[in-house]
Amino acid sequence: MTPPLTGPPAGSTRPADAQWTPPPGWRGYERTAVTGSGAAHWAAVSAEVLEWGVKTRSGFAVDPAGGSRRVALDAEPWLVASVGPLRVREPVRVVAVVDGPDRCGFAYGTLPGHPVSGEEAFVVHRTADGTVSLTLRSLTRPSPGVWRPVFPALLVAQRWYRRRYLRAFRGL
């Protein structure tokens, strides 16, 4: 039996849409950063984002389900954050994948055992003039269970990783 998501309804970060409004009851976050420009940069970044590059370039390890490095709808990889000797394994499910000529990325929702409840999306997109940007979207709230008391510290860690995500593809 597939475990239920602990976050909002699947796809709530709407990675295929250029505009987004967070649903009520969740800490919504959205930021966009230019990563570069040109066809070669787009090709590199769009390929990387669909192979978990934004996570791995930001310090996470990805233990893919089924051995595939490619993001796939309904895949349930483990994301692993390491802080010194501490390793935190985060179970997630890919809930949306976008792979178009000018917009590509994915969203994952949290599963039981994840330190927070929510959904996170990573989308690269390019404009007509060739500018390539990365947009992060997330919905967050405390998870039930053992992680709940440390939620304020998890928000600090989340802000730290978000800065790393926004820099992940610069200069690629």
Q: 27-167, superfamily in CATH? A: START domain (3.30.530.20)
Q: What's the confidence (pLDDT) of residue 40?
A: 96
Q: What's the confidence (pLDDT) of residue 2?
A: 81
Condensed to tens digits (0 to 9), the pLDDT of residues 116-159 reads: 999 999 999 999 999 999 999 999 999 988 999 999 999 999 99
Condensed to tens digits (0 to 9), the pLDDT of residues 85-126 reads: 989 999 999 999 999 999 999 999 999 999 999 999 999 999
Task: Label residue 172 by pLDDT band (50, 70, 90).
Answer: confident
Q: What is the DSSP string of the chain?
A: -PPPPSSSSTTTT-TT-SS--PPTTSEEEEEEEEEEESHHHHHHHHHHHTTTHHHHTTTEEEE-GGG--S--TT--PEEEEEETTEEEEEEEEEEEEEE-SSEEEEEEEE-TT-SEEEEEEEEEEE-TT-EEEEEEEEEEEEPSSTTGGGHHHHHHHHHHHHHHHHHTTTT-
As a whole number, the mean pLDDT across the chain is 94
CB-side exposure of 93: number of CA atoms within 13 Å?
18
- Whether the per-residue pLDDT at 65 is higher than 80: the answer is no
Q: What's the confidence (pLDDT) of residue 27?
A: 95
What are the residue boundaries of the structural domains of the chain, listed by start? 27-167
Cα–Cα distance for residue pair 8/12, rounded to 1 Å: 6
Q: What's the confidence (pLDDT) of residue 67?
A: 75
- Whether the per-residue pLDDT at 1 is higher than 90: the answer is no
Q: What's this model's pTM, rounded to 2 decimal places?
A: 0.94
Identify which of 75, 35, 51, 54 has the alpha carbon closest to the alpha carbon of residue 121. Answer: 54
